[in-house]
Structure 1
Amino acid sequence: MIAIINFLNTIFWGYVLIYGLLAVGIYFTVRLGFIQFRHFGEMFRCVIGSREVDKDGISPFQALTVSLASRVGTGNIAGVAVAITLGGPGAIFWMWMVALVGMATAYAESMLAQLYKEHGPGGMYRGGPAYYIKKGLGQGWLASIFAVALIIAFGLIFNAVQSNSIAEAAAGATGIDKMWIGIATAVLTAVIIFGGIPQIARVAEFVVPFMAGAYLLAAIWVLVTNITEVPGVLGHIIGSAFGLQEAAGGVAGGMAAAMLNGVKRGLFSNEAGMGSAPNIAAVAVPDPHHPSSQGFVQALGVFIDTILVCTATAIMILLSGAIPSAENTGVVLTQNALTEHFGVFGQYFVAIAIFFFAFTSIIGNYAYAENAIIFLGHGSQGPVIALRAGVLGMVIWGAIQQVQTVFDFADASMGLMATINLIAIVALSGTVAYVTQDYLRQRREGKNPTFHLSEHPEIAPGVSKTIWK
């Protein structure tokens, strides 16, 4: 089993996804006319719009914060430090590049999730890759495989990983036994997830802006107080990106190391093309009432996660005296960097940030898995209760265990779901382009875009006649 898992991860993460995610991002960037650059302002317009929602969905802002809750995790703190250690400062440049093209992929998958969403149990909107694979491509069996892979990766094992990060940080700072930290985390998780996606959205709406805002403010303070060193750091990033300088700590060198580690970190962090964020994008009530508007919202999520939050970590590391090395990497490197800037408070700040980043990832990941389990269970509440129990069990287990094989299995599951999703959105790219042109045409005409299915009979199969009437 270990050999099979390792082989799958080598195929998925060594070949298929590293190149596939980049290729698909470039493809949608070109096919949609560089939409993430030419219509960047539209992303904010679609988030800042009306907070009014109907009883069946959540607001665009809530959808953005839930997706950020999942995207912004411990990888934004530890993963960036590892990328700098292995690939040098140039890895940050390649993280930026993969995020900029990934914004187009995030737009496409979330637009499709909106278009093919349906009413689930109690009337709440449900959707995501499983739904558009079944309804848009007519491949129900493939949709089921995707849903199972998402539940394994995001619903269960990745939540154990996040819980492990919380336990490690809290136990190190307080000396409390990890078991009790795991139980406390599970209780807090239960209070939120048993309220369903509306409760998760309400929590994310307040917690995520606070946690991301505090982290970005810390980075801005570091930037301002070290402003004279900023040009040199930027030059270092660009030079290292193209192999003009060695990687940090001498661990690796050259353009290849910078590109590989930057691309990997960017893909893991922003999740563009993974098929995760579309699950919450489908639950939103879009404003304007058009599938494209939620695509713009989730493209903004990629920008915030990588261009802002990951860059904040990189800036605080590169402007410190902390030297990356095989021993001084990950969370340790970030803590040492912030200690240089803020004194002993820096260590506590990182521990607090890890808690908020990891905990919000747990509830965000659960929201994705709930959509998938409802798809498989056809609206029955039994599987949902079982999922919630499984999530809580994995939170406790993750706090006290660290079994690499299980985590590798999660990577293989995520690799499978991402591969399926990429194939699906490329197959449906004609629909993506058609709906996007409809939105942009209405904007050019000075209208507030709306989508009426009766006006677009050519894409009617699989699209709900009641939602888009």
Structure 2
Amino acid sequence: MLALINDLLWGKVLIALLIAVGVGFTLASRCVQFRYFGRMFRILSASQAFKKDQHGHLSSFQALLLSVAGRVGGGNIAGVAVAITLGGPGAVFWMWVVGLMGMATSFLECTLAQAYKTAEPDGTYRGGPARYIARGLRRRWTWLAGLYSVLLLATFGFAFTALQSYAVATSFDDAFGIPAHITGLGLALVVGLIVFGGVKRIARVTEVLVPVMAGGYLLIALVVLGLNITQIPDVIALIVKSAFGLEPAIGGGIGAAILMGVKRGLFSNEAGLGSAPNVAAVAYVPHPVNQGIVQAFSVFIDTLIICSATAFIILLGGAYDPALGAGIDGIALTQASLADHVGEWGRSFVSVALLLFGFSTILYNYYLGENSLDFFSRGNRTLFNAFRLAIIGLCIWGAMTDLGTVFAFADTTMGFLALANLIALILLFKPGRRILRDFDDQIQAGVGQPIFEADKFSDLNVDPTAWEIEPEDRERVRRSQAASPTTP
């Protein structure tokens, strides 16, 4: 039954909706993910000055790293290997397509999450699909917001946490011979110390961890590219030709390439799932579009950079033969491929990378689960602490359990999660475009840093208290605009 549902969701329904939202908003927004790509760097730079710690706010940069911590995980290492094994090299091309479309989708969902966020007493914010469904689509859609929260808790809070622990434990067992239960216990201990500190402690950890883990992985990928620089054009040609069936059928032909590319691309970058908006909403920014632009870039980092790094490590190595397929798959294929390039220590490197990726993703999954619980309980500390204990237990249980059934269940719930969110995005298409137009109009008027005036959007049912810019920050923005009135 699960297989039938997954085939219907992933093979037909979600592909159609992903294309509709991704391509539709790309056209409606005049390619916002490309128009404002360069502006993203200025937003991140300004966000460090805009953030005021004494008010308890988290910056745009911290929210970006928190979302990258979640997007960059096992899907970037094991997921890409699975996609290539089952869909052939062409799956990589369709992952790229999903990534480029997903940048627009992520922009839309994260902009909406910012617009409809609600303020918390400690200076942080709560937001995400459940809130933009409930506030943006009003009471008759509250059932969809509740359903989304339940699916988010089941998929990320529980299933994906166990799966990440399993991936890390099996990898360490293979590379270092460390028993799975030992890895699980160690992971549970460190995770427990962090999650009991709440989102601020998680943000501080990811602020250090994410640049180190992503930078280290990209560095080894660059080494591999340098060692095989003459073969890169051939690999790119193989990817493109396989994507359109111009090479002998590999891993199921063009249909499998598209299916695996879309499925694993979404699993990796999460654009359209609605998971990243839960994190995007925590940022303190002057306009929702600021964070929409930044979160679009996080999809680029995940799919176009890190997933591509794994793909080239595999396709440039000798462990995978495009003509025959691979005798190994998943994390083992990535380990064997890197070992083929740099020696046996490459296996250990992949295991350490997976540990860091998996660890950061568990922290991210925890926050998503907490956010879904908050939708129902509104800050019930007892419930939050019980969930934190459950996360610790899942780290141990997941490391020691065969999770084949859990994986199939997670694929199904993730499919319904994406379905609920994509329907909401289509219904909220006009408000999203209106918020973007407000940003565009201010930019065209020469405003260097647009500010979101919530009273102008009162008909959208936004929370005005979540858009009270601190006086010193508003003055800083005004001084900047006065000094540079024609900033593009």
State which drifts further: 9-18 or 232-241.
9-18
* Secondary structure in 2 matching 1:40: coil
Q: Where do 1:69-80 residues align within 5 Å? A: 69-80=69-80
Match of 1:282 in 2: 281
Q: Distance in 1 between matches of 2:75 and 2:450?
A: 37
1:228 to 1:403, Cα distance in 2 relative to 1, 3 A: closer
| CA deviation after TM superposition for structure 1 residue 18, in Å | 2.5
1:194 to 1:88, Cα distance in 2 relative to 1, 3 A: same
Q: Distance in 2 between matches of 1:130 and 1:428?
A: 13
Match of 1:374 in 2: 374
Match of 1:93 in 2: 93
| CA deviation after TM superposition for structure 1 residue 271, in Å | 0.4
1:184 to 1:162, Cα distance in 2 relative to 1, 3 A: same
Deviations 1:173-214 (A, max 9, x none): 332322222111100100111111101111111111111111
Q: Distance in 2 between matches of 1:338 and 1:357?
A: 17
Contact 1:118 1:127 in 2 (8 A): yes
Deviations 1:2-41 (A, max 9, x none): x3x4443233223221322222111111111111122211
Amino acid of the structure 2 residue aligned with 1:149: L
| CA deviation after TM superposition for structure 1 residue 121, in Å | 5.3
| CA deviation after TM superposition for structure 1 residue 259, in Å | 1.8
Contact 2:81 2:331 in 1 (8 A): yes
Contact 1:87 1:259 in 2 (8 A): yes
Match of 2:272 in 1: 273
- Computed over aligned residues only, the root mean square deviation of the Cα atoms, in angstroms, reads 1.6
* Secondary structure in 1 matching 2:245: coil
| TM-score, normalising length: structure 1 | 0.94
* Secondary structure in 1 matching 2:424: helix
Q: Distance in 2 between matches of 1:89 and 1:9?
A: 23
Q: Where do 1:30-429 residues align within 5 Å? A: 30-51=27-48, 52-54=50-52, 55-120=55-120, 122-138=122-138, 139-247=141-249, 250-253=250-253, 255-286=254-285, 289-324=286-321, 325-429=325-429
Amino acid of the structure 2 residue aligned with 1:275: G
Contact 1:129 1:421 in 2 (8 A): yes
Amino acid of the structure 1 residue aligned with 2:261: G
| CA deviation after TM superposition for structure 1 residue 68, in Å | 1.0
State which drifts further: 356-365 or 413-422.
413-422
| TM-score, normalising length: structure 2 | 0.91
Match of 2:466 in 1: 467
Amino acid of the structure 2 residue aligned with 1:115: A
Q: Distance in 2 between matches of 1:388 and 1:96?
A: 35
Amino acid of the structure 2 residue aligned with 1:17: L
| CA deviation after TM superposition for structure 1 residue 120, in Å | 3.0
1:356 to 1:264, Cα distance in 2 relative to 1, 3 A: same
Q: Distance in 2 between matches of 1:252 and 1:406?
A: 25
State which drifts further: 19-28 or 51-60.
51-60
Match of 2:473 in 1: none
State which drifts further: 139-148 or 256-265.
256-265
| CA deviation after TM superposition for structure 1 residue 449, in Å | 0.6
Q: Distance in 2 between matches of 1:442 and 1:260?
A: 41
Count of aligned pairs between the two proteins = 459
Contact 1:147 1:373 in 2 (8 A): yes
* Secondary structure in 1 matching 2:47: coil
Contact 2:118 2:466 in 1 (8 A): yes
Contact 1:22 1:102 in 2 (8 A): no
Q: Percent identity?
A: 48
Deviations 1:100-158 (A, max 9, x none): 01100000000011011112353421111111111111122221111111011101110
Match of 2:24 in 1: 27
Contact 1:167 1:182 in 2 (8 A): yes
| CA deviation after TM superposition for structure 1 residue 349, in Å | 0.8
Structure 2 gaps of 5+ residues are 469-488
| CA deviation after TM superposition for structure 1 residue 417, in Å | 1.8
Match of 2:472 in 1: none
Q: Distance in 2 between matches of 1:156 and 1:120?
A: 25
Q: Distance in 2 between matches of 1:386 and 1:299?
A: 34
Amino acid of the structure 1 residue aligned with 2:203: A
Q: Distance in 1 between matches of 2:221 and 2:179?
A: 32
* Secondary structure in 2 matching 1:57: coil
* Secondary structure in 2 matching 1:77: helix
Q: Distance in 2 between matches of 1:274 and 1:136?
A: 18
| CA deviation after TM superposition for structure 1 residue 92, in Å | 1.1
Deviations 1:47-92 (A, max 9, x none): 2323142434311111111111111111111111121222222211
Deviations 1:325-375 (A, max 9, x none): 352222121111111111111111111111111111100111111111111
